[in-house]
Amino acid sequence: MYAVVIADQQETRMAGMSSAPQLDMFEAANEVSLKVNRAARGRHERAGSLSEDEMVRHLEKTGQFRILRKLVPRTVAPVRRPEFPRVGVIVDTETTGLNHRQDQVIEIGAVSFTYDDAGQIGDVIGLYGGLQQPDGSIPPEITRLTGITDSMVEGQAIDLDLLDQLIAPADLVIAHNARFDRPFCEALSPVFKDKPWACSVSEIDWGARSFEGTKLGYLIGQAGYFHDGHRAVDDCFALLAVLDTRDGEEELPFAELYQTSQRSRARVFAEHSPFEMKDNLKARGYRWSDGSDGRPKSWWIEVDEENLADELDYLRSEIYRWREADPPVKRLTAFDRFRA
């Protein structure tokens, strides 16, 4: 009984009470129990009087906890505000595999929102989510990843008319790994082909913003949220929340993405480069193209327009070792970038 009383005194001091009950060791046992119960009841009453926000602030203030809030999707605004004249659409696809030439889309999600020329986000103005039955069974590993089963997609088809209506007004289409999503979207509907695209994986410097990774699960967690991942519309809303998260006085991630998407880039092909230089090229960030997609069969890299001269100088001096070498260069804008 004495040990219980001492523990209660310590908890009472930690709870911020001005003084703890002073107990006589020879006090009657029922008197001790009464005081212990009274102190415990007081603590519970104080805790019960705190709102959820107050409890969160209290826990975060201790420095011992990080609180993740469940992401609540934004509602669709009934009226567009004129100060946000541009339209962006976040898209996400779930597919039967990684190859857009042989695999198929089984789910697409799209969330349309407004923004201004400074990259400030306005309101959600539309959304679409739809499932589609593929030609064959969904591979088990895809079901494990997405939660989508054959029974869920049986008889389902994406409403391309509704999807096209949502995409048609877009000034920018955004995907978290646009190099994957764009080819699948273009195979699904031609409305995607003439749109400028932006990639929230490669066109935002997440490391400079103190994020520890680029996967959406990492980003949404470090932004202070959790959500039901790997379903298309849920992932679209999660990305929108991350893009609209400001840390201190820095610009929004979406503002950086929008500005980056406006820049011209150059794709440089190290065509006919010596075979023994492949490891050097790979270490510098070059990727291999086997020529099946219409590109030269060679190692290639994308660089900002202002870095093109330096990249060509590198190839001529370090790879070809011939100053007159003239590797192919293709200039890209957001309309061309991330195509298959």
Nearby residues of 307 by Cβ (< 8 Å), 6 or more positions away? none
Tell me, what's the pLDDT at 16?
42
- At residue 240, the pLDDT reads 98
DSSP single-letter state for residue 133: -
Range(s) of the chain covered by CATH 3.30.420.10: 86-262
Determine the 3-state secondary structure of 68 from DSSP.
Answer: coil
Instruction: Report the pLDDT value the prediction gives residue 42, as an integer from 0 to 100.
Output: 56
pLDDT tens for the chain, 340 residues: list them: 323 333 333 443 444 444 444 445 445 545 655 555 665 555 555 555 788 888 888 888 888 888 898 999 999 999 999 999 999 999 999 999 999 999 999 999 999 999 999 999 999 999 999 999 999 999 999 999 999 999 999 999 999 999 999 999 999 999 999 999 999 999 999 999 999 999 999 999 999 998 989 999 999 999 999 887 668 999 999 999 999 998 776 799 999 999 999 999 999 999 999 999 999 999 999 999 998 777 889 999 999 999 999 999 999 999 999 999 999 999 999 999 999 8
Fold exhibited by the domain 86-262: Nucleotidyltransferase; domain 5 (3.30.420)
Task: Tell which residue, 199, 235, 201, has the closest CA to residue 220.
Answer: 235
pLDDT at 232: 93
Predicted model pTM: 0.80
**DSSP notation for 102-117:** T--EEEEEEEEEEE-T
Closest CA to 173 of 275, 89, 106, 258: 89
Query: Could you tell me how far CA 59 lies from the centroid of its own chain?
Result: 26
